[in-house]
Amino acid sequence: MAGFDVSNPDWKTAVEASFARQGFMSLIGAVLEEAPAGSCRIRLPFRPDLCQQHGFFHGGLIGTLADNAGGFAAASLVAAGVEVLTVEYKLNIIAPGEGDALVAVGTVIKNGRSLIITRVDVFSERAGEQTLCAIAQQTIMPLAAVRVAR
């Protein structure tokens, strides 16, 4: 896992800029944390309006964080100007999303030319202690030219 070839020397700036342009990340209050190339860590502090009917983080947000942590882990390895699209992901929720925050950690497993494969762990954090909440496996496609909506 260590020693990924970085294609874009400015990958950190590129990943941060891309994350910052995601309106949905602002809406939910997700924060991109420092992480080495080939990985990504995203934190989502608890808010009542992020919950499902029993007061836990909504499963859709566990999936959102997993998808994004894997996607930006992949994005850190592509050449300048190349974007990444999620082809698919699969998420197992293994404990309720509860506590002070969710933390998703994505790692590139295979940095292929046409497809990038990642694994993601999502933890729930309470008073600094982490519990594994979900695991995911994801397929990402790097794309040189991405269409923009509208």
Contacting positions for its own copies (CB under 8 A): 18-19, 21-24, 26-28, 48-56, 58-61, 63-65, 67-68, 71, 83, 85-96, 98, 109-110, 112, 114-115, 117, 119, 132, 135-137, 139, 141, 146-150
| Phi and psi at residue 34, to the nearest 5° | -55, 135
CB of 137 to its own copies, least distance (A): 5
Reference 93, options 55, 65, 132, 125; nearest CA is 132
Q: How far is the CB of 6 from its own copies (least distance, A)?
A: 20
Task: For the CB of residue 50, give the shortest distance to its own copies in the complex, in Å.
Answer: 5
CB of 35 to its own copies, least distance (A): 18
Distance, CA of 54 to CA of 49 (rounded, Å): 12
DSSP string, 40-55: EEEEEE--GGGB-TTS
Residue 24 three-state SS: helix
99 φ/ψ sector (left φ>0, alpha ψ -120 to 50, else beta): left
Shortest distance, position 44 Cβ to its own copies, whole Å? 11
Give 82 or 117: the residue with its C-beta nearer to its own copies.
Answer: 117
- Decide if 44 contacts 57 (C-beta within 8 A): yes
